Homo-oligomer: A and B are copies of this chain.
Amino acid sequence: MNLPAEFSVIARYFAPLAAKGGLGLADDAAIVTPPAGHELVITADAMVAGVHFLPYEPAENVARKLLRVNLSDIAAMGAAPLYYLLTLSAPRGLPDAWFAGFARGLAADQERYNIALLGGDTTSTPGPITVSVTMFGHVAPGTALRRSGARGGDDLWVTGVVGDGVLGLMALRGEHADPDGSLAARYRFPEPRLGLQLQGIARAAMDISDGLVQDASHMARASGVSLVLDICNVPLSAAGRARGIDFVASGAAGGDDYELLLAVPPDNKAALLESAAQHDVAVTCIGRFEQGAAEVRAVNADGAAVELGHKGWSHF
């Protein structure tokens, strides 16, 4: 008996990616034994063609970004990644080459991040390609980093540079020069900041997915403290610096950075710098938390107030 095409796609493209617990993707569910004595950290993110990626983006890139945005959430909790489930809703008639490319992208980043596929679902849709991943990581009990741990007196640090994600999207849309393609690459292939060993160093962490100002304000609100942003210290690429201070202050440097925001007591600065150096990740101090109402202010290099916009991304 011939199998319907749906099963053929799963068998050809996705079954080779399966973890042992994925049972060859041939059962109703996966079976896994979580690492003994550890907690599981679990996150889910969906991406929709035309919303989260350009409609003609190569499938390989879509797959890699999908894994990376989920891995970034695992990194933000200070966890190590394990495996994932995938649901994929595809328009009828999407060519085999698309599935082949998508599976190639998954395979490349499975190897890069040492993760494997547990299971999932494929369906048709009359709408755009819609993909969703549920990603699993693990931590020693009680050591996951949360957004709510910042205290007055902690410094706010950020990894890497911010703003290139949105500039990369503009470049792909032809709205920004990108002669060497580096901005587009930053938008397409964010680098989840896994492995930094932040336990015992940072008191709170989260990743920047909706924009620095908006996300930093989430951390201040969750922690019940106020935040003063040193707007001139925010690390930008040359392309970002060319857009001036307002690029950050307006909230326009928003979305798709997937760098980490970290609340770090001043006493832990040396340990943070050492961990970051070991992993070849830049870290920059961009503000400090203060006791008081959960609000965010910004100052320039002279300490003068800078007005903040709130143009962070919202779906509704």
Contacts and interface: CB of A to CB of B under 8 A. Distances in A.
A33 interface: yes
This protein's copies in its complex? 2
A126 B51 contact: yes
A6 B209 CA distance: 14
A73 interface: yes
Interface string A110-128: 0000000011111111111
B146 A7 contact: no
Interface residues of A, number: 76
Contact of A148 (B26, B85, B222): B26
B42 A9 contact: no
Contacts of A118: 42
A32 B139 CA distance: 10
Contact of A42 (B77, B85, B89, B222): B85
Contact of A128 (B127, B222, B312): B127
Given A126-B128, A127-B48, A130-B130, A28 B315 contact: no
Contacts of A33: 39-40, 141
Interface of A: 1, 4-9, 23, 26-34, 39-48, 50-52, 73-74, 76-77, 79, 85-90, 92, 118-128, 130, 132, 134, 137, 139, 141, 144, 146-148, 206-207, 214, 217, 222, 295-296, 310, 312-316
Q: Please list the 10 inter-chain residue pairs (A to B) with the smallest Cβ-Cβ separation, ordered nearest first.
A: A127-B127, A4-B314, A29-B43, A5-B316, A134-B134, A124-B315, A46-B87, A28-B76, A28-B73, A87-B132
Given A5-B314, A28-B147, A43-B119, 14 more contacts: A4-B312, A27-B77, A27-B206, A28-B207, A29-B73, A31-B139, A32-B39, A33-B141, A40-B40, A44-B134, A46-B132, A122-B316, A124-B316, A130-B130
